[in-house]
Structure 1
């Protein structure tokens, strides 16, 4: 019996949220899960929110995750983590990239980016894991691989073999970027265990 898992991926346009969800779906499918995926693009080309809901289980009937039901939120950016925090279930895990990307209202001076977001989240007693995913991805050779650093950390939370994740990466990522993405996955995977980070 495969235990159901609901994963919410939140970020902004250009961060590779959709690619990450495709890798997760491929790995989960290979591991025998039924999968449903829902994607929401909010002006993604202009740095707007991109939200992907991935539901895994023995049999999944709906792609949508309700508030308070996500087992894991994978946040590619701090403000998006705060924005979607209500979807995390009690006892769930938030994996967050400590990157800040200012949305258009902030850039236009019409709003302020909240201060100390990670501290605010920790103060709520939430199980949060903070990664320097962008910094680690740069060390691996490409800042855009931050999404795969985060996937590496997520892999530690799911009952899917590491080799299955690697196969999913190879099937999803263009061959010329595979070496960098494998290194990024390793960086996130080891960071999640506390055994090291970086390339």
Structure 2
């Protein structure tokens, strides 16, 4: 059995850390795992894509279009941009927050938040959109968006690792002084998708 998870975000949101945490949870579950990242323009707020491939058989670290089981989107437009990675019936977990690109700030393009949300809600699989940024701030740090999103991921059935293994991986990989904030952020993400 295998599982492919793609993460979409922008620089500074902790996309790469999230993929490494998922990989560590898979290792804790004795699963083989590959990861890869594409970091757009190597700048803060440039697009970042992470691929996590778990289980067997594994045929490479990059998830082909139409093959991902889950798409985790840390930013609304980036989530829509990577929707072609999902297989039919795959699951979308998206942060409702937008980060306005330079082209919008300079008036060269438009960011239509309502249209993006509507497009995602038409996805013919499971789609969860919620304000993970607000939940991260309520947990104690806006930087914990990635942990909120991982908490939401942990509620999905049939993952190849447990929510306990995912939390263990988080706590092993974040600075010790942020342990309580990250525990709160993880729980907030779980609760956003109906977990406890």
Aligned to 2:143: 144
Q: CA deviation at 1:89?
A: 0.6
Aligned to 1:156: 155
CA distance in 2 between partners of 1:93 and 1:43 (Å): 28
The answer as to whether partners of 2:31 and 2:160 remain within 8 angstroms in 1 is no
Aligned to 2:106: 108
Q: CA deviation at 1:37?
A: 0.5
Segments of 4+ moved more than 3 angstroms: none
CA distance in 2 between partners of 1:119 and 1:53 (Å): 25
Segment of structure 1 superposing worse, 117-126 or 55-64 = 117-126
The answer as to whether partners of 1:79 and 1:114 remain within 8 angstroms in 2 is no
Aligned to 1:172: 173
Aligned to 1:135: 134
Unaligned ranges ≥5, structure 2: none
CA distance in 2 between partners of 1:194 and 1:166 (Å): 14
Q: CA deviation at 1:102?
A: 0.8
Q: Does 1:121 align with 2:138?
A: no
CA distance in 2 between partners of 1:98 and 1:115 (Å): 9
Q: CA deviation at 1:133?
A: 0.6
The answer as to whether partners of 1:38 and 1:63 remain within 8 angstroms in 2 is yes
Q: CA deviation at 1:194?
A: 5.8
The answer as to whether partners of 2:26 and 2:160 remain within 8 angstroms in 1 is no
Segment of structure 1 superposing worse, 5-14 or 166-175 = 166-175
Unaligned ranges ≥5, structure 1: none
CA distance in 1 between partners of 2:87 and 2:165 (Å): 27
Residue 83 of structure 1, aligned match among 70, 81, 84: 81
Q: Does 1:40 align with 2:41?
A: no
Give runs of aligned pairs for residues 53-72 of structure 1, distance below 5 A: 53-72=51-70
Aligned to 1:50: 48
CA distance in 2 between partners of 1:88 and 1:134 (Å): 23
Aligned residue for 1:62, secondary structure, equals coil
Closer, same or farther in 2 for the Cα pair 1:159/1:146, shift >3 Å? same
The answer as to whether partners of 1:8 and 1:53 remain within 8 angstroms in 2 is yes
Report the TM-score, using the length of structure 2 for normalisation: 0.93
Q: CA deviation at 1:108?
A: 1.6
Q: Deviations over 1:62-113 (max 9, x none)?
A: 0011111110000001000111111111110000000000111111211111
RMSD (CA atoms): 1.4
